[in-house]
């Protein structure tokens, strides 16, 4: 399961366990020993229902969830418990795009300020930052006069472009995408997915792509891991997993998504009902 080049993967997660503290004594095991790897220029998908632990894995890589045991390494370096200034230095290499295009941009900042912030913390000069921001807006195909606007003046799809541009300004090597298209209309969804693919081809960035939609994952990911209740039940090449799933859960997940064709959907539903009743 290594990167296409066969070299050491960019991101390697080994046997990761994450517990959430619900109560002083009660703990919930969100991840029960999960291993994945992401190579350079590769997109790896994490698919599952809510509560399957897929977002937790993304958060652990970003340092937003405390790891109980296991190891996360980035470019050969152990980043499992990295905090403070060392974690902030990782921001050069690892970035994020969140699901909610409304909550992920500070409503009181202009787009220019939002995009310049990750640069300013590294001490980039104002002129340089302005040039990079203009370049990134062009990358995500937003007009350059967007910098003077507030996030509330954009549609959901445009905001997600802004969030992607913010993830790109530091020219990271890995972007964790946490359900980045699931709050968008279907047509907007496909243009954003195409944008993700184009950006990957242009910059060679890697994606860890968290989603509940196997259709989206099939479109953008090279490989996929299917998660169920904190464990990976199946992984492999996306084309193979979506064409010919092995695990019954993957099959159920695949059949549950309706297709936009009444005749085929009727068949699919019948198969799904059969699978559900036998399960």
Partner 1 sequence: MTTAPFPTTLAPVKRISLWRRYLRRPLGVVALAVLLVVVAVAVLAPWLAPFDPNLVDFKLTHATPGDGHLLGGDSAGRDILSRLLYGAQTTLFGAVITCAAGLLLGVPAGVSAGYFGGATDRVCSWISDALQSVPGMIVLLVVAAGTGQSFVVLMVALGIFLAPGYYRITRARALSVRKEPYIDAARVAGVTNGRILRTHMLRAVYAPIVVQTALTAGIAIGMQAGLQFLGIGSASTPSWGQMMNDGFQNMLNYPLILLWPSIALGLTIAALAFIGSTLADLVSVRSEQPTRRDRSRVRESLAAPAPGDLAERVASGSHAHDAEDCALRVDNLRVGYAVSNGVKEVVRGVSLDAAPGEVLGIVGESGSGKTQTIFSVLNLLPSGGTAVADGIWVGGREVGRLSPGERAALLGRSIGYVPQEPMTNLDPCYTIGHQLVEPLRHVHGMSKAAARERAREVLVQVGITDPDRVLVSYPHQISGGMAQRVLIAGAVAGRPPLLVADEPTTALDVTVQAEVLELLRELQREYGMALVIVTHNFGVVADICDRVVVMKDGRIVETGPVERIFRNPEDPYTAELISASLDDTESRQELDEAWSRESPAALDRVGEKDGAR
In the set 11, 46, 90, 208, which binds partner 1 (CB under 8 A)? 90
Do the Cβ atoms of 32 and 230 come closer than 8 Å? Answer: yes
Among positions 69, 77, 92, 125, the unique one binding partner 1 when judged by CB under 8 A: 92
Residues in CB range of 122: below 8 A, 6 or more apart: 92, 170
Q: Rule CB under 8 A: say whether 66 interacts with partner 1.
A: no
Best CA proximity match to 218, nearest among 195, 241, 198: 241
Cβ closest to partner 1, residue 232 vs residue 241: 241
Taking CA atoms, 166 is separated from 89, 113, 172, in Å, by 16, 10, 11
Min separation Cβ 162 and partner 1, Å? 11
- What CA–CA distance (Å, rounded) separates 163 from 68? 30
Which positions from 231 to 260 touch partner 1 by CB under 8 A, shown as an x/- string? Answer: ------xxx--x---------xx-xxxxxx
Any contact of residue 110 with partner 1 (CB under 8 A)?
A: no
Contacts of 260 (CB under 8 A, 6+ apart): none
Which residue from 73, 109, 110, 236 is in contact with partner 1, where contact means CB under 8 A?
109
Q: Which of 222, 230, 233, 245 binds partner 1 (CB under 8 A)?
A: 222
Q: Which is nearer to partner 1, 15 or 148 (CB)?
A: 148
State how far the alpha carbon of 171 is from the alpha carbons of 188, 202, 207, 226, in Å. Answer: 24, 12, 13, 29
Q: Is 118 a residue that touches partner 1 (CB under 8 A)?
A: yes
Q: Is residue 146 at the binding interface for partner 1, with CB under 8 A as the rule?
A: yes
């Amino acid at each position: 399961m290594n990167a296409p080049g066969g070299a050491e993967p960019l991101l390697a997660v080994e046997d990761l366990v994450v517990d959430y503290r619900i109560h002083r004594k009660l703990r919930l095991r969100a991840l029960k020993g999960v291993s994945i790897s992401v190579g350079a220029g590769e997109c790896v998908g994490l698919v599952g229902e809510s509560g399957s632990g897929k977002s937790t894995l993304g958060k652990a890589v970003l340092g937003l969830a405390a790891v109980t045991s296991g190891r996360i390494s980035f470019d050969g370096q152990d980043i499992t418990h990295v905090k403070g200034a060392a974690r902030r230095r990782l921001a050069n290499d690892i970035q994020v795009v969140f699901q909610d295009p409304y909550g992920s941009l500070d409503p009181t900042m202009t787009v220019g300020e939002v995009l310049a912030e990750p640069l300013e913390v590294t001490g980039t000069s104002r002129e340089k930052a302005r040039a990079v921001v203009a370049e990134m807006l062009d990358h995500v195909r937003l007009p350059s006069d967007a910098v003077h606007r507030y996030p509330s003046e954009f549609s959901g799809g445009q905001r997600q472009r802004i969030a992607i541009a913010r993830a790109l300004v530091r020219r990271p090597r890995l972007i964790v995408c946490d359900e980045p298209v699931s709050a968008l209309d279907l047509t907007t969804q496909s243009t954003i997915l195409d944008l993700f693919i184009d950006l990957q081809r242009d910059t060679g960035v890697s994606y860890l792509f968290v989603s509940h939609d196997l259709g989206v994952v099939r479109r953008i990911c090279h490989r996929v891991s299917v998660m169920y209740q904190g464990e990976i039940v199946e992984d492999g090449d996306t084309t193979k997993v979506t064409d010919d799933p092995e695990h019954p859960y993957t099959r159920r997940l695949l059949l549950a998504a309706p297709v936009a064709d009444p005749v085929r959907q009727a068949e699919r539903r019948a198969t799904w009902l059969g699978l559900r009743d036998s399960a």
